[in-house]
Structure 1
Amino acid sequence: MSLPFDLTPGVTAALALALIGAAFVRGYSGFGFSAIVITFAAIFTNPLPLIPVVFACEMLMTIFQARGIRPDIDWRRVGAMLAGAAIVLPLSVGIILSVGEDMVRLIVSTLVLIMSLVLLSGWTLQRAIHAPGHLGVGIISGVCNGAGVGGAPVAVFMAAQPMPPAVFRATMIAFLTGLDLITLPLLWVGGLVTWETAIGAALAFPLLGLGVWLGGRQFLSTPPAAFRRFAVFLLLILSGAGLIRAAFA
């Protein structure tokens, strides 16, 4: 059987390992999967056709996690952020398909790096942000999601607020699932969703289950302070990787 996207067996094996690692991160933190896989894939191949596969994988992982996260989802935050994202996503996807993703990735990675360094210093907001703020960050996320990095600005925004780790993780998962549900049809209209997308997601399914299960077990044994520290360091790593990729594109 030929592999999707003309991938070689060696590249496929490398991507399989990246999928397991990224699924572990998603199972633990609730975000980071798309950025990890897309950044890693860019080392070996053109990642643009893989973006719909990554989004489909994120939705599949939610199937594994839904039962455990449901009580902790802050639906008001999710609804406001998705409303903001829905406003700009058609324009965002059109821009990415027309001009490419590297400039968007460069800008997003720079902003996330700066905010992550601020969070690393120990700064946090003293109270939660209300609906207009979440609508605004949803708009930013929608602009970024055409390049597959819509979760990063939301993670920075929520990590700065006083929020239990379980609520942070569950709300991120619910938001990213909704964001992908909105984005995938737009990518289909743009010609990026094909039968190869379905084949790639099907091949990834068992790897996703393993990674999410392992990550979820790790989350249950992690104290809140360690979880927040991990989230901030993950944002630093992802933003740094995004800058490196954009610089050498």
Structure 2
Amino acid sequence: MEWLSRLGDSPPLVVLIAALVAGTVRGYTGFGSAMIFMPVAGAYLGPKTAIGIMWIIDATMQLVMVRSTWRHARWGEIGPLFIGYVVGLPLGIYTLMTVDPGPIRWVTSLSIMVALAMLLTARRVETSPGLPATIATGAVSGLISGVASLGGMVLSLFWLAGPSRNEAVRGSSVAFFVPASLLSGALLALAGLFTAEAVRIAAWTMVPYGLGIGLGSFLFSRADARLFRPVAFAVIAAAALTSLPALDGWLR
């Protein structure tokens, strides 16, 4: 096809497969796509190009999910969470640029694992936390997003620990990252990460990523509802594990 020839050479097949799998995870759980895509794309295309690609395809394709998930989002929590996120994200980016990220990544990954273990062994909270705790969670999410790109895992733990139904966890994750992606996109643009190469490869990966979101959404609507939380917990555990600095030589 002529339009394909204009895009130049396709990225490695493994990058396209990673986009498909990442989209499937995003479509099913509402989060976790960067965990799948970034290590693979970063290894083959470089981390800066991978970040630009990830933002372009996710910011575009998440709009497809918004229509079906919007009504399930917990809007009373999303606002305060985002206020905290706006404060925490620049602090996280500043920390990443000025402090050795290795120890911080260790603490972040292990803290998420501990929080997940506590969540698995404790009973769910039947009431939503108060405003200060919600804002503080958003700030921690923003801080960890800037340092280790794991802020989405913090928010997911927040919703999974509370009274939210599966639809609310998924819908809140999608809704939150619409404004969050605008903020992160502005910061990435200032950093010059939306290069012509990133845009070109994003055009290639957009299709498998979109197909994955469609597949994940289909699985969410048809699969046993009892599977959602185990899958979400597995995604969070995998994200924390693969972010450990000790595994950089294998995954990045």
TM-score, with structure 2 as normaliser:
0.86
C-alpha change, 1:101 and 1:216, in structure 2 (3 Å) is: farther
Counterpart for residue 191 of structure 2? 190
Cα deviation 1:121-159 (Å, max 9, x = unaligned): 253223222332221111111112224322011111211
Counterpart for residue 41 of structure 1? 41
Counterpart for residue 158 of structure 1? 159
In the alignment, residue 244 of structure 2 is paired with which amino acid? L
Cα deviation 1:100-139 (Å, max 9, x = unaligned): 7554433321111111122222532232223322211111
Does residue 65 of the first structure (1) align with residue 68 of the second (2)? no
Larger mean Cα displacement after TM superposition, 54-63 or 87-96:
87-96
Q: CA deviation at 1:24?
A: 0.2
C-alpha change, 1:191 and 1:217, in structure 2 (3 Å) is: same
The answer (yes or no) to whether the contact 1:74–1:167 under 8 Å persists in 2 is: yes
CA RMSD of aligned residues (A): 2.5
Moved >6 Å (runs of 4+): 1-4
Larger mean Cα displacement after TM superposition, 45-54 or 112-121:
45-54
State the number of aligned residues.
245
C-alpha change, 1:157 and 1:222, in structure 2 (3 Å) is: same
C-alpha change, 1:48 and 1:31, in structure 2 (3 Å) is: same
Gaps of 5+ in 2: none
Cα deviation 1:51-106 (Å, max 9, x = unaligned): 23212222112122121112111222211111111113223223334557554433
CA distance in 2, matches of 1:233, 1:180: 24
In the alignment, residue 149 of structure 2 is paired with which amino acid? G
CA distance in 2, matches of 1:41, 1:33: 12
Larger mean Cα displacement after TM superposition, 137-146 or 192-201:
192-201
C-alpha change, 1:100 and 1:68, in structure 2 (3 Å) is: farther
C-alpha change, 1:14 and 1:119, in structure 2 (3 Å) is: same
In the alignment, residue 224 of structure 1 is paired with which amino acid? A
Q: CA deviation at 1:205?
A: 1.5
Q: How does 1:94-243 map to 2 (within 5 A)?
A: 94-98=94-98, 102-146=102-146, 147-243=148-244
The answer (yes or no) to whether the contact 1:105–1:149 under 8 Å persists in 2 is: no
Larger mean Cα displacement after TM superposition, 126-135 or 63-72:
126-135
Counterpart for residue 93 of structure 2? 93
C-alpha change, 1:97 and 1:130, in structure 2 (3 Å) is: same
The answer (yes or no) to whether the contact 1:113–1:239 under 8 Å persists in 2 is: yes
TM-score, with structure 1 as normaliser:
0.87
CA distance in 1, matches of 2:122, 2:60: 34
CA distance in 2, matches of 1:41, 1:100: 24
CA distance in 2, matches of 1:133, 1:84: 10
The answer (yes or no) to whether the contact 1:125–1:162 under 8 Å persists in 2 is: yes
The answer (yes or no) to whether the contact 2:55–2:185 under 8 Å persists in 1 is: yes
